[in-house]
């Protein structure tokens, strides 16, 4: 049947991108996209804010590209929203927006941000909780007075919340102090394991500081 046992280390290429039919399809696709280019607007100026439309014939229409950009290329836009089975996107109705209901709560549950090093912070569990408390629940309660909201979240790591003092090895440094979580004390082999140095430690620089992995292992 043409199967051959091989080991692929570059999984992204396992789809057979060199197959003749794939090459032919992509060549046709590129030709088609090139034919659209002359019907698309161009953008000039330093910020690409000046739109210049092509000269179109009577039977031609302006073509507008919807590009799929790689994550991290250019400015990112993060949109987090809630979908409701009954009304779709969770938001106030037009009637509610004109009433006193809208005076104290947002009009929609959607939150938009521009994450990045020099922009907004990255999406995390704290922001999710803020959205639920300040946007989602008030809008839901205004729309469904006696109903119960059943929230279903995907498996994103930002939704896997822990307490700030949770015992998570990944949040520990090898050495003591520094930027690591201040964890709660626990029990190990029947004895209390203190995860932070006391406030009267002989070394002043370590007083009330977090213990690192090396220190915890040394104590056992």
Report whether 56 contacts 36 (CB < 8 A). Answer: no
> What Cα–Cα distance (Å) separates residue 180 from each residue in 107, 113, 175, 210, 214?
38, 27, 10, 7, 14
Residue 55 pLDDT > 70 = yes
Q: How far is Cα 192 from Cα 167, in angstroms, rounded to an integer? A: 14
Q: Lowest-pLDDT range, 27-36, 73-82, 122-131? A: 73-82
| 16 neighbors 22 (Cβ within 8 angstroms) | yes
Report the alpha-carbon distance of residue 17 to residue 196 in Å, rounded.
54
Q: Is the pLDDT of residue 218 over 50?
A: yes
pLDDT score recorded for residue 74: 65
Q: Express each pLDDT in 139-187 by its tens digit.
A: 999 988 878 888 877 656 665 677 888 888 888 899 998 888 899 999 9
For the stretch 176-204, pLDDT in tens is: 988 888 999 999 888 899 999 999 988 88
For residues 213-219, average pLDDT: 89
Share of the chain above pLDDT 70, in %: 87
What is the average per-residue pLDDT within 4-21? 68
Q: What is the pLDDT of residue 72?
A: 54
pLDDT of residue 67: 66
pLDDT at 13 over 80: no
Handedness of CA 194, 197, 199, 203 (dihedral sign): positive
CA 51, 37, 63 angle in degrees (round to 5)?
A: 65
The yes-or-no verdict on residue 110 having pLDDT over 70 is yes
The pLDDT tens digits of the residues spanning 116-134 come to 777 787 888 888 889 999 9
Residue 183, pLDDT score: 92
The one-character DSSP state at 103 is: G
Listed in sequence order, the DSSP H helices in 86-154 are 94-97, 125-131, 137-143
Across all residues in the chain, what is the average pLDDT? 83
209 by Cβ neighbours in 10 Å (0-12 / 13-18 / 19+) ranks as middle
Q: How far apart are CA 95 and CA 122, in angstroms?
A: 34
Please name the helix (run of DSSP H) or strand (run of DSSP E) that holds residue 52, with its range, or none. strand 50-52
Q: Is the pLDDT of residue 138 over 50?
A: yes
């Amino acid at each position: 049947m043409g199967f051959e046992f091989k080991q692929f280390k570059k999984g992204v290429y396992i789809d057979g991108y060199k197959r003749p039919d794939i090459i032919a399809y992509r060549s046709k696709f590129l030709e088609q996209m090139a034919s659209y280019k002359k019907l698309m607007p161009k953008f000039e100026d330093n910020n690409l804010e000046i739109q210049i439309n092509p000269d179109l014939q009577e039977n031609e229409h302006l073509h507008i590209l919807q590009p799929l950009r790689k994550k991290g290329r250019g400015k990112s836009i993060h949109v987090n929203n809630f979908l409701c089975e009954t009304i779709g996107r969770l938001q106030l109705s037009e009637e509610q927006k004109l009433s006193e209901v809208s005076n104290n709560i947002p009009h929609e549950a959607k939150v938009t941000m521009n994450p990045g090093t020099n922009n907004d912070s990255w999406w995390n569990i704290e922001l999710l909780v803020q959205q639920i408390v300040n946007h989602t629940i008030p809008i839901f309660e205004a729309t469904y007075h006696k109903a119960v909201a059943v929230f279903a979240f995907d498996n994103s790591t930002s939704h896997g919340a822990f307490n700030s003092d949770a015992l998570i090895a990944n949040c520990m440094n090898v050495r003591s102090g520094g930027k690591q979580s201040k964890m709660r004390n626990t029990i190990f082999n029947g004895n209390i394991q203190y995860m932070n140095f006391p406030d009267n430690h002989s070394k002043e620089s370590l007083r009330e500081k977090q213990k690192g992995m090396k220190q915890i292992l040394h104590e056992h």
